[in-house]
Structure formats: structure tokens, C-alpha cells
Structure 1
Amino acid sequence: MQSDSEWLDRAKEVVRSDADAILAALEGIDGEFLAVARLFAECRGKILVTGSGTSGNIAGRAAHLLSVGGTPAFYLPPADGLHGGLGVLGPEDLVLALSKGGSSDELNEFCKRAKTLCAGLISITADKASALAALSDHVIHLILPARSDLGAVVATGSSLATAAITDALVEVCRVARGYSWDRLLFTHPAGAVGRDAEQSLKRLHGAEG
């Protein structure tokens, strides 16, 4: 049985590892990131975001936030895509695939087929030599410290780092598309965000001024 101090030390170690993984994601904010951001900002279709397992959860979050920020996006699990969901893709759409290792057979089969139906395939992965990276038109490289994930097995820090990169895409594209805070808050009238919209706009416009 571990002591209270040992529990606290382990918990703090996890948080430090998560923080280190997110900070390491800064290395992926480079020219390739910029090329992807331009593609997203100029996309006339929608961004299909996909991933398996924990990456799928991050993909769903990314699709939601891209849409919130004025870049139309949706999440489609690769398994659903391989059961007919691929039919949603059009020639002006883009696919963003998230995978730490880039070796999921299901995801890669989805992306192989999706690439023939859309305007381009972008991936965020830690392995630039992976099958997913080889399929992709653009790869945002996820650079991770050695101890990012629990036991180097559970996608803890790596998933947070991926989320940080997609958050950066959300904001860069929001600005590039001219999607103002007024428009964002108009499409987000519910919850505390909607309730405090007037105050938020005063604060945001004040900051911009």
C-alpha cells in the first residue's frame, strides 16, 4: 500500500508529463502547420476529422471546436466510414486524421479510400515514417518527450498534445476566415457562453481596441 505522499508524487508526475507533452507540441508549429492552416482556412467544403480510440475522442473535440471557430467540420469514426460513411465526402472536403503511431489498419484503410474522394489528407502523428504519414499530403509532426504517456501505452500526454495543435488550428483559421467573436457568439447562444455573451463581447472588443 502506497503512502499519501507517494500517491501525490505520482499524480504530480503525471501532470508534469502532460505539461511537457503539450509544450513539446510547439515544435510542430512550423511551416507544415502553416500549410495545413492555409488549406483549412481556404477550404470551401468541410473538414472531416477522424481517429481511433483515444485519438477518436480528440478528433471529435477538434471537429466541434473547428466548427465553433467558423471552420465547418465534423467527426466520423473510421469504422463508420468503412461501413458506408465515406459517401459523405465531396471533392472540396479535406480529411484530418489523428493517430500517435499512424499504424491503425482500420484508420489507414479509411484514409486510403477517403483520399480518393476529397481534396486532401492531413495527419497529425508522432511517426513520420508510419503508413498514415506515407498516405498523407501533409503531416504535422507530433514531437513527444519519452515519458509523455502512462507506461508508454496509455495515450495521455500525446492526446493532449494533439488537442493543443488542433486548438491552434482552430484559432488561426478563425482569424484567417474573419470569423468574428460576434459571429461566434451568435452561433453559441446556449449555456454560460450565451448567457455571458454581452459581457464577453465588451471584454473582447476592448482587448482588440
Structure 2
Amino acid sequence: MTDSILDAAKDVVRTEAAGVLAVADQLDASFLEVADTLYACTGKVFVVGSGTSGAIARRMAHLLAVCGTPAVFIHPMDALHGTMGALSEGDILISISRGGESDEINELSVRAQKRGVRVIALTAVPGSTLGQLADIVVVLETNEGGDPGGMIAMGSTLVTAVWGDALATVLMRRRQYGWDAVLETHPAGAVGHTEVLPQNLEGLGETPSATAG
């Protein structure tokens, strides 16, 4: 009994790990376009999602901010009850929805565009409502078994999370955002007590490529 439980748990870990590793092969022109767009953005960056995607959206916004790209999570229902007043022309909205058919995400995205906001969709279904309306579509696929029953967003949210980690880190390097700057905005916890900073990450240059705009 104990062995079968451990085997089942290990299968989950191996399946999800394989899905995360496969993200490297999904980094394409759409990733470059998003990186350029966020790098050149002079407005605000908002990240939105519902359910488990909402948890990943909150994480992504936090890590973008920590890495030097100002971003905040916006709750879709709060936004539809007035918070979208924070959205204005020149801003970017990253909308996360695996199936692309979450009504609240899609309605917010449409209304954001009417306010002059560019919408970036992270979805597994480019032909979905969200995929069709977005200004930039990033297709993130999950390996077989990654989401149990195709209904529980486990592997797919990890795929989205690691894609966001790659984005945050690339932007950090392009901005040459150093550890001293990280410490400036992270004074609490063990990080805030760091006395010897590591060497800064190698820069990736400062000029956005022609895909931005």
C-alpha cells in the first residue's frame, strides 16, 4: 500500500516535471514579442486570471515586480466592479486562461482594449474567445496527463508559471536590474538581511527588437 501511494505520487511529479521542461521548446516568436512589448511599455502592467490561473497570475505579477518590471495582479471580478478604472491607455493586461472561455476574463479583456490597453493572452486554445480577441497570443500546451482528467489545472498552471519566470528573468537582464535594486524593494525577510550581494546577472542589452509596438 505504501509503495503504491509513493509510486502514484512520483508519477505526478515526473509528469509535471516533464511538462515544465517542455516549456523550453515552446518559447518562440510570441515570447520575444511579449518581452519586447513589456520592455518598451511606459504604462502599467496588470496580470489577471481566475481560479488556479488567478494564483499563477498573482505570482507572475509579483515576480515581474521583484525583477524590475512594475506589475500588479488585478482580480477579474473586482475589475468588473470598478477596479478597471485603474486601466488606461498605454497599459498592458496579461490575461491567463487555459481554455480561453472564462467570461469574466474575456469581458475584462474586451473592456480593457476599449480603454486603450493591449491584451496579451496566455492560453492553450488560440482559437478560443480570448485567443481571438487578444492583441498578442501565447499558446502554452500541457503534456498528456499534466492536468488530471483534463479538468484540474495542475500541470498547465506550472507551465504558465515557468513561462512567466523566464519572462521576468529575461526582462531583468535586459534592464540590467541589479541585486541592489532588488534589495531596495525587498527589505523584509531573510532577503532583506542579505549582507553580501551576488554578482548581477549578465545583461542582455537595452534596445528592444523590431517586434515591439
Q: With structure 2 as the length reference, what TM-score do the two structures score?
A: 0.91
- Structure 1 vs Structure 2 CA RMSD: 1.3
CA deviation map 1:92-141 (0-9, x unaligned): 21000111111111111111111121341001111111111101111111
Q: Secondary structure at the match of 1:115?
A: helix
CA distance in 2, matches of 1:24, 1:102: 21
Following superposition, the deviation at residue 145 of structure 1 comes to 1.0
Give 4+ residue runs of structure 1 displaced > 2 Å after superposition. Answer: none
Following superposition, the deviation at residue 204 of structure 1 comes to 1.9
Select the residue among 198, 201, 204 that pairs with 2:199: 204
Identity %: 46
Which range moves more in the overlay, 22-31 or 133-142? Answer: 22-31
Do the aligned partners of 1:95 and 1:118 also contact (CA within 8 Å) in 2? no
Do the aligned partners of 2:87 and 2:117 also contact (CA within 8 Å) in 1? no
Matches within 5 A, 1:47-196: 47-196=45-194
CA distance in 2, matches of 1:20, 1:106: 31
CA distance in 2, matches of 1:77, 1:28: 27
1:204 corresponds to which letter in structure 2? Q
Q: Secondary structure at the match of 1:204?
A: coil
CA distance in 2, matches of 1:23, 1:126: 17
CA distance in 2, matches of 1:26, 1:99: 20
Q: Secondary structure at the match of 2:114?
A: coil
Do the aligned partners of 1:28 and 1:140 also contact (CA within 8 Å) in 2? no
Which range moves more in the overlay, 33-42 or 145-154? Answer: 145-154
Q: Secondary structure at the match of 1:71?
A: coil
Following superposition, the deviation at residue 49 of structure 1 comes to 0.2
Do the aligned partners of 1:48 and 1:74 also contact (CA within 8 Å) in 2? yes
Select the residue among 13, 23, 34 that pairs with 1:15: 13
Following superposition, the deviation at residue 175 of structure 1 comes to 1.6
CA distance in 2, matches of 1:108, 1:12: 36
Select the residue among 27, 31, 34 that pairs with 2:32: 34
Following superposition, the deviation at residue 27 of structure 1 comes to 2.8
Do the aligned partners of 2:45 and 2:94 also contact (CA within 8 Å) in 1? yes
Q: With structure 1 as the length reference, what TM-score do the two structures score?
A: 0.92
CA distance in 2, matches of 1:116, 1:106: 16
In the comparison of the two structures, how many residue pairs are matched? 202
CA distance in 1, matches of 2:63, 2:182: 11
Do the aligned partners of 2:69 and 2:168 also contact (CA within 8 Å) in 1? yes
CA distance in 2, matches of 1:85, 1:187: 25
